[in-house]
Amino acid sequence: MARISTYPYSTVVTDNDAWIGTNASNRTTKQFTASAVAAYLNLNSKVSVGGQMIFTWSDTQNGGTGTVSKTGGGGSGAGFNTLTELRFSIKEKSGQRVVEFLNYLIGTDILIGQGDQISQFGHYKLDTYTVDPATASYYIATITYIGGNGTIAQQGTQYTVIDFNISGGGDVNLKQNFNASNQWVINNTTGKAEPSVTLIDNGGDEIYGAVEYTNATTITVDFNSNIAGSSILN
């Protein structure tokens, strides 16, 4: 075999291109295709992406380090819309501890998606995330289904869990609170010159005042008397 340095460089890599390497289990020489290497890196969390966690689905409750499972076990073949309580290992597949990050996401949306099938996913609100009283190696997450498609695949399938927000093209609701006053000066950070303004008193009732769009970032509301409450810009 000639020296490697004598072979020409290729700047275009295709899925079926191959490298010569050594099999770790028996030290034999093997070929590894570009597509196989890419799949290995993707499905085994070997390339770190901020905010992304990878778990292996287990049909056994608390099925081992790096797993996510359903309370009570099972789940393979069930719709994503049936999931209400999951058990997460305190470490994801790559060995990173996830407790602090998932704690931070309580009250926000998460996406659980099959690593190699983008159309198989569930969108949930993470309601609670608490340590399993039986073992500190797992945390119990209660979730509320928002939307998604498909079913949980067989045990051993890789799932990506990410912080998820699809509000970019929809409505933005900004709430500000005010002490009792006959004039509220609202800070408009919606990016819109004249967003809709909803006014709520502290009793939860909608109220009305004279709304003036003072400039692109300020809205003034005048009342006939002192009122405490909140404004919501949409």
Containing domain of residue 121, as a range? Answer: 52-167
8 Å CB contact between 51 and 163: yes
Tell me the two tokens of residue 163. Answer: 């912080």
Tell whether 71 and 93 lie within a shared domain.
Answer: yes
Tell whether 72 and 153 lie within a shared domain.
Answer: yes
The residue assigned the tokens 């928002």 is: 146
Share above pLDDT 90 across residues of the chain, in percent, rounded to a whole number: 53
Mean pLDDT of 36-46: 64
**Beta pairing class for 18-22 and 121-131:** unpaired
Of 116, 146, 167, which marks where a domain is finished? 167
Mean pLDDT of 51-72: 94
Task: Give domain status of residue 38, yes or no.
Answer: no
Task: Give domain status of residue 99, yes or no.
Answer: yes
Cα 41 to the chain's mean position, in Å? 20
Of 118, 152, 167, which marks where a domain is finished? 167
Tell whether 131 and 81 lie within a shared domain.
Answer: yes
Task: Give domain status of residue 29, yes or no.
Answer: no
The per-residue pLDDT for range 197-217, each reduced to its tens digit, is 889 898 878 899 999 999 988
In the predicted model, is pLDDT for residue 233 greater than 90?
no
In the structure, what pLDDT confidence band is assigned to residue 50 with cuts at 50, 70 and 90?
Answer: low
Strands (E) located in the chain: 18-22, 29-33, 52-58, 67-70, 85-89, 109-114, 121-131, 138-149, 158-163, 174-187, 197-201, 206-207, 210-215, 218-233
Tell whether 197 and 122 lie within a shared domain.
Answer: no
In the predicted model, is pLDDT for residue 87 greater than 90?
yes
Does the predicted model carry a pTM greater than 0.85? no
The per-residue pLDDT for range 124-168, each reduced to its tens digit, is 999 999 999 999 999 999 999 988 889 999 999 999 999 987 655
Number of domains in the chain: 2
Cα–Cα dist 157/163, whole Å: 20
C-alpha separations of 28 from 20, 22, 33, 140 in Å = 11, 6, 16, 43
